[in-house]
């Protein structure tokens, strides 16, 4: 059986959320993981692959199923695989912790970094 391909972006809180889900339900090994790193060639390669195969702009996380269907978005993926693996997201304590504690912190850090980059760009 071919593995599903999971495309994630390094540092992306949504990508981490789906990885946490898969790990907690014991099915992370069902996926071949490709990591897109911002400002590296891997990002361009992965985003172009997703666009060429799906006809849609890349977002992270995205899964290419073993039958060539693309599913994107952490919540959509968690809902989809919750049904397949018969595991409710509400029963996964680590996922709840991530969503309620770590994800808001990461979003805030990402916002601060974005604002800092904009300020630096305006100085030059």
Could you report the per-residue pLDDT of 26-63, keeping only the tens digit for each?
A: 999 999 999 999 889 989 999 999 999 999 999 999 99
**Rounded CA separation 1/61 (Å):** 22
- Number of Cβ within 10 Å of residue 12's Cβ equals 20
CATH code for position 101: 3.40.30.10
Domain assignment of residue 103, given as a range? 4-123
* Total tally of structural domains belonging to the chain: 1
Report the predicted TM-score, pTM, of the whole model to 2 decimal places: 0.85
pLDDT of 23 above 80: yes
| Average pLDDT score over residue span 62-67 | 94
pLDDT value of residue 38: 87
Q: Give the model's pLDDT for residue 1.
A: 55
Mean residue pLDDT of the chain comes to 93
CA 39 vs. chain centroid, Å, equals 17
Whether residue 124 is predicted with pLDDT greater than 70 in this model: the reply is no
Residue 119: φ, ψ to 5°:
-65, -45
In degrees, rounded to 5, the angle at the alpha carbon of residue 15 between the alpha carbons of residues 93 and 84 is 65
**Spatial separation of the C-alpha atoms in residues 54 and 64, rounded to whole Å:** 9
Predicted confidence band at 2 (pLDDT cuts at 50, 70, 90)? confident
| Secondary structure (DSSP) of 71-103 | EE-HHHHHHHHHHHHT--GGG-HHHHHIIIIIH
User: CA 112 to CA 124: how far, in whole Å?
Assistant: 19
């Amino acid at each position: 059986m071919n593995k599903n391909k999971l495309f994630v972006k390094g540092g992306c809180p949504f990508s981490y959320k789906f990885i946490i889900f898969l790990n907690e339900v014991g099915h992370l090994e069902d996926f071949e993981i490709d990591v897109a790193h911002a400002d590296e060639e891997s990002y361009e390669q992965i985003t172009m692959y997703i666009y060429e195969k799906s006809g849609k702009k890349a977002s992270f996380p995205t899964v290419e199923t073993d039958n060539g269907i693309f599913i994107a978005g952490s919540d959509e993926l968690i809902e989809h695989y919750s049904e397949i693996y018969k595991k409710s997201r509400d029963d996964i304590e680590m996922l709840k912790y991530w969503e309620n504690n770590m994800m808001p912190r990461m979003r805030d850090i990402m916002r601060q970094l974005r604002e800092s980059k904009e300020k630096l760009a305006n100085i030059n």
